[in-house]
Amino acid sequence: MNDYVISSSDLTKQYGSFKAVDQLDLQVPKGSICGFLGQNGAGKSTTIKMLLGMVKPTSGSGSVLGFDIEEEKSSLEIRKRVAYVAEDKRLYDYMTVAQILNFTRPFFGAWDKDLERHLLDEFKLPINRSIKKLSKGMRTQLALVLGICRNTEILILDEPSEGLDPVNNEKVLKLLVGLASDGKTIFFSSHNVFEVEQVSDYIIMIHKGRLVESKSLEQLKEDNKIIKCLYSEKHNLDLKSLKAAKSVKSDPNSVLVFADGDKSALLDILKQSHPSSVEVINLSLKDIFLENLKALESHVIS
Amino acid sequence: MLFHKYWLETRTRFYIGILVISALCLFFVLGQPWILKQWALDEIRDPNIYNPPWIIRAKNDFTFFIWRFLYNNLLQLAWVLLTIMLAIGGISQELEKGTSLFTLSLPVTRFKLFSLRILVGFLEAVALALLPVIIVPLFSALIGQDYSFLVAVNHAVLFITGGLVFYSLGILINTLIKSEATAFFISLGMVIVYYFLFQPYSEGMHEPRLLKYFDLPAIIGGNGGKAELTSLNLVPFVSCCVVSFLLLLISYYFVKNQDFNDK
Please determine, for residue A15, whether its predicted confidence score (pLDDT) is greater than 70. yes
Q: Are A45 and B261 within 8 A, CB to CB?
A: yes
The answer to whether A152 faces chain B, any CB pair under 8 Å, is no
A213-239 residue pLDDT tens: 999 999 999 999 999 999 888 887 777
| Nearest residue in chain A measured CA to CA from B108 | A76
Please determine, for residue A202, whether its predicted confidence score (pLDDT) is greater than 90. yes
Q: Are B107 and A79 within 8 A, CB to CB?
A: yes
Q: CA angle B183-B185-B187, nearest 5°? A: 70
Q: Across the interface, which of A49, A84, A103 has its CB nearest the CB of B4?
A: A103
Q: How many angstroms away from the CA of B233 is the closest CA of chain A?
A: 41
* 3 state SS of A163: coil
| Nearest residue in chain B measured CA to CA from A47 | B261
Stronger pLDDT, B211 or A168, i.e. the higher one? A168
| Amino acid A295: pLDDT | 86
Distance CA A54, CA A156 (A): 14
The percent of residues above 70 in pLDDT, for chain A, comes to 98
| CA A131 to each of CA A4, A30, A101, A104, B7: distance values in angstroms, whole numbers, following the listed order | 37, 34, 11, 14, 17
Nearest alpha-carbon partner for B183 in B86, B257, B50 = B86
Provide, as residue numbers in chain A, all residues whose Cβ is less than 8 Å from the Cβ of B260: 49, 54-55
Sign of CA dihedral B98, B104, B108, B111: positive
DSSP E strand stretches across A30-66: 33-37, 59-64
Q: Are A103 and B9 within 8 A, CB to CB?
A: no
Residue A241's pLDDT band (cuts 50, 70, 90)? confident
| Amino acid B94: pLDDT | 87
Q: Are B8 and A45 within 8 A, CB to CB?
A: no
Q: What is the mean pLDDT of chain A?
A: 90
Residue A14's pLDDT band (cuts 50, 70, 90)? very high
Q: Are B261 and A55 within 8 A, CB to CB?
A: yes
Distance CA A26, CA A12 (A): 11
User: What backbone torsions phi and psi does residue A32 show, to the nearest 5 degrees?
Assistant: -90, 165
Provide, as residue numbers in chain B, all residues whose Cβ is less than 8 Å from the Cβ of A80: 107
Provide, as residue numbers in chain A, all residues whose Cβ is less than 8 Å from the Cβ of B109: 72, 76
Distance CA B126, CA B28 (A): 21
Distance CA A84, CA A156 (A): 5
The answer to whether the beta carbons of residues A75 and A52 sit under 8 Å apart is yes
Instruction: List residues in chain B touching A: CB distance below 8 A.
Output: 1, 4-5, 8-9, 97-102, 104-110, 257, 259-261, 263
The answer to whether A278 faces chain B, any CB pair under 8 Å, is no
Residues 6+ apart with CB under 8 A from B135: B21, B22, B25, B26, B29
| Nearest residue in chain A measured CA to CA from B112 | A76
- The number of C-alpha atoms within 13 Å of B188 and in the hemisphere containing its C-beta is 11
Residue A148's pLDDT band (cuts 50, 70, 90)? very high
CATH 3.40.50.300 segments of chain A = 4-215
- Please report which helix (H) or strand (E) contains residue A224, including its range: none
Q: How many angstroms away from the CA of B114 is the closest CA of chain A?
A: 15
- For an interface test with B, which of A54, A70, A139, A151 has the most B Cβ atoms less than 10 Å from its Cβ? A54
The answer to whether the beta carbons of residues B191 and B81 sit under 8 Å apart is yes
Rounded to the nearest 10°, the torsion over CA B71, B75, B77, B78 is -160
Distance CA B34, CA B37 (A): 5
Distance CA B129, CA B46 (A): 39
Q: Are A83 and B105 within 8 A, CB to CB?
A: yes
In chain B, the number of structural domains is 1
User: What backbone torsions phi and psi does residue B155 show, to the nearest 5 degrees?
Assistant: -65, -35
| ipTM computed for the complex | 0.88
Instruction: Report the helix count and the strand count for chain B, using DSSP H and E.
Output: 13, 0
- Please report which helix (H) or strand (E) contains residue A122, including its range: helix A113-123
| Amino acid A1: pLDDT | 45
Distance CA A273, CA A226 (A): 17
Residue A300's pLDDT band (cuts 50, 70, 90)? very low
Burial A271-300 (b: 16+ CB within 10 A, else e): eeeebeeeeeeebebebbbebbbebbeeeb
The answer to whether the beta carbons of residues B83 and B160 sit under 8 Å apart is no
| Amino acid A26: pLDDT | 94
| Per-residue confidence in pLDDT tens, chain B, 263 aa | 899 999 999 999 999 999 999 999 999 999 999 999 999 898 888 888 888 888 888 888 999 999 989 998 899 999 999 999 999 888 888 888 889 999 999 999 999 999 999 999 999 999 999 999 999 999 999 999 999 999 999 899 989 988 999 999 999 999 999 888 899 999 999 888 888 877 766 666 666 666 666 778 888 887 665 544 445 667 777 888 899 999 999 999 999 998 887 65
Strand partners, A211: A206
The answer to whether the beta carbons of residues A280 and A263 sit under 8 Å apart is yes
DSSP state string for A124-157: T--TTSBGGGS-HHHHHHHHHHHHHTT--SEEEE
Query: Is residue B169 included in any domain, yes or no?
Result: yes
DSSP E strand stretches across chain B: none
Please determine, for residue A76, whether its predicted confidence score (pLDDT) is greater than 90. yes
Stronger pLDDT, A165 or A300, i.e. the higher one? A165
The fold of the A4-215 domain, in CATH, is Rossmann fold (3.40.50)
The answer to whether A98 faces chain B, any CB pair under 8 Å, is no
Residue-number span of the structural domain to which B211 is assigned? 2-257
Query: Is residue B16 included in any domain, yes or no?
Result: yes
Query: Is residue B120 included in any domain, yes or no?
Result: yes
Mean pLDDT within A168-180: 91
209-268 of A, contacting B, C-beta below 8 A: none
